[in-house]
Amino acid sequence: MEGLLREFDWSNNPLGPLENWPMSLKLFVSLILPNTLPCAILWGPELILIPNEPGVFHPNNKNGKLENLGKRARDFYSRIWSQFEPIINSVRYEGKSFFGEDYPTRDLSWDESPISYWSMNLSPLRNEFGQIKGILMTAYDTTEKVLNFQGLRETQNRLELALDAVKMGTYEYRVAIDEFIPSDRFLEITGAKRGISRSEMRNTIFEEDRIIRDQAYHKALHTGILLYEVRLQKDPSQWIRIEGKAYFNEKGEAEKMVGTILDISDKKKSEERILESTKKLAIALEEQRDLQRQKDEFLQIASHELRTPLTSIKGFGQLVEEILLENQLFNESQMVEKLNQKIDQLQKLVENLFDVSKLNSGKLFFEDSVFDLVDLLKSNVEDVRYSPTQHFFKEEYPFKGKVIADRDRISQVIMNLLTNAIKYSPPGSEITIRSRKQGNFMVVDIQDKGIGIPDSEQEKIFSQFFQSEFLSSQKFKGIGLGLYIASQIIHRQGGRIWVESTLGKGSTFSFSLPLFFYYAP
């Protein structure tokens, strides 16, 4: 740089040749030359620029195109002179030093140059008589610091926006100096005043809940994680959730806690409402279970008490019918026959109610034995074959097999399916009874050509008291227990029961039972 200074043509410069420079200027120049920070001297009434090496390209000619050496400050800084001049003047006329931090600047020779930031110091330079003759300018590039800071500020702004959106407050607690720094939102939620201490903060918590907070802090000292939900003293219906993190020093002591606060009153209220309704529901369910128990008990006692007299009535009815026939009182015997049919219906109904009460109270037991299912089917068909409706029974048994089950109960199922097939299909129509094998199961199909069941009802048909809406206007009367009992029996015997049906064309009810395999020891 010293070389550059010497080579520079000073002859046409207001400063004149180097050797004529005043001692003080020479001294100042020799002082700034070795400086590693960008410096420059602005000397004389024209403020001629003499930079040191780092200052040659400083402050605004980083691309090296423009040199400031020997230039008038007014010319070199022409673009910013209107702002710069008052500062310069206050230094050179009033002797005031100036310090400017993070000034945004562009390269003066390059319009599109990116903005850089500089901090600069201007101080007056006096000659040996104390007169201000020049200015010492030092500057350093603070672009990186400023940009980092701006980035940080943007991140912080974004964070604040996010916190604001969820109405979340923040706080910081510095353990060593016992300083508690809450955000505005924190104060708004808790109703506390700025400058509140940590122990005062504790008092904003509902008295009964302070122990929850103390325990959470105690735990956080070990785990580093703070989390608790408490009510506020000012209004115990207001709930807050504090979440935080503890930071420890090398000795493992907590140095600071940083965390968030959220008003969770609404959430708590809905949780309480849910809890309340769950409790009510549980009570209602218990009441319903009680009612169900009472109903089952009543059904069991009533149907049991009805069975015995009904059996006697039925016996006497049949006896009376026989006596009337023997005495050739045909009209009277026909009346009694009708009476006996009604007694049969009544007895079936009572039996069904009795079974349901046993099923519901888990008291329906099975006496299993091994039997031939086709033999049972044949005997059941014989029982209904000569029904007054003159249905035609077609039997197809390509597969014969033994099952292990309660024979009487399975017979009850088959009879129910057969009587339904009769009941819900036209007199004289065909009813097919079929046996087949499906894996380790034997399947029985009972197919009628009757009224069928609408798709919407096929799933519900095996539930308690189900009766078709489709039939309600028609002549069929039942109570809707037969298929429910049948399905319960079949399921408990390890099988399945189902229906396939087309409205107006007929239904096929099927059930399966596990086949009995005899393994010789």
The contact set with ligand ADP (CB under 6 A) reads: 416, 420-421, 424, 448, 450-451, 453, 461, 466-468, 471, 478-484, 507
Nearest to 481 by CA among 494, 495, 500, 462: 462
Nearer to ligand ADP, 403 or 421 (CB): 421
Minimum CB separation of residue 467 from ligand ADP in Å reads: 4
Minimum CB separation of residue 237 from ligand ADP in Å reads: 54
Nearer to ligand ADP, 105 or 488 (CB): 488
Q: What is the dihedral of CA 182, 185, 189, 192, to 10 degrees?
A: 40
3-state secondary structure of 4: helix
Minimum CB separation of residue 465 from ligand ADP in Å reads: 8
Nearer to ligand ADP, 22 or 454 (CB): 454
Nearer to ligand ADP, 297 or 459 (CB): 459
Strand blocks (E) in 329-424: 369-372, 392-396, 402-405
Q: How far is the C-alpha of 11 from the C-alpha of 4, rounded, in Å?
A: 15
Minimum CB separation of residue 436 from ligand ADP in Å reads: 19
Question: Which residues 6+ apart lie within 8 Å of 417 measured at CB?
Answer: 446, 486, 509, 511
Determine the straight-line distance between the first and last CA of the chain, rounded to whole angstroms. 113
Minimum CB separation of residue 367 from ligand ADP in Å reads: 24
Minimum CB separation of residue 368 from ligand ADP in Å reads: 24
Nearer to ligand ADP, 224 or 454 (CB): 454
Minimum CB separation of residue 412 from ligand ADP in Å reads: 12
Nearer to ligand ADP, 29 or 483 (CB): 483
Nearer to ligand ADP, 192 or 356 (CB): 356
Q: How far is the C-alpha of 64 from the C-alpha of 54, rounded, in Å?
A: 11
Pairing of strands 132-141, 39-43: antiparallel
CA atoms within a 13 Å half-sphere pointing along the CA-CB vector of 24: 17
**CA of residue 231 relative to chain centroid, distance:** 25
**CA of residue 200 relative to chain centroid, distance:** 37
Q: In 3-state terms, the chain is what percent helix, strand and coil (to 5)?
A: 45, 25, 30
Residue nearest to ligand ADP (CB): 478
